Structure 1
Amino acid sequence: MEINTEELGDKIVRVLKTIYDPEIPVDIYELGLIYDVFVNEDMDTKILMTLTTPNCPVAETLPLEVEEKVKSLKDVKDCEVEITFDPPWTQDLMSEEAKLELGML
């Protein structure tokens, strides 16, 4: 059965929600660190993400973990993770759920 790009995008988001920022007990998706997930017809994916700060202690390992976990999905051919600081991450990017979790609401 062929999987479409939208279904694959949903699967990727589910995987992203299993990856946590080591300093904040909230997954990177709810934290707002994922800016975009692109999936093309060849099932190659590109994830545009940011970090809470440019000198984040997991700057080396977190993008790698994202890439490896997304690549582990059987329908994904390849995954590229691009880190950007434009726009810079702010707490406004966090989901209501994340803010609630961290006692910010």
Structure 2
Amino acid sequence: MKRKVLTLAAMVAALAVSSVMAADVSYTSVLSGKVDSVVPVGTTVAEGDVLLTVESLAGPMPAARANSNSSGTVKSVTIQPGSAVTQGTVVVVVETK
């Protein structure tokens, strides 16, 4: 009986750890326009960091920011400065910690 309880506890612990492991989070642009800047691959990001800026009449505007659930490292960038982006386009993928 004791062995079954320990085995069950180990299985529950393994499931808990696997749910905390790294996951990819895709960020989309909330604005359309010409890309002014984008965070480079390999950059560590945290909540509130600007991932993408788009040119506007008032100057560069943040078009994608890291949220509170996805601090980690930029895994891929799908757009380059100077190119056009439309609202809803996936622009950055972050691998969470």
- Structure showing greater Rg: 2
TM-score for both structures, normalised by structure 1: 0.30
Q: Greater RCO between the two (CA within 8 Å, min separation 6)?
A: 2
Greater strand proportion: 2
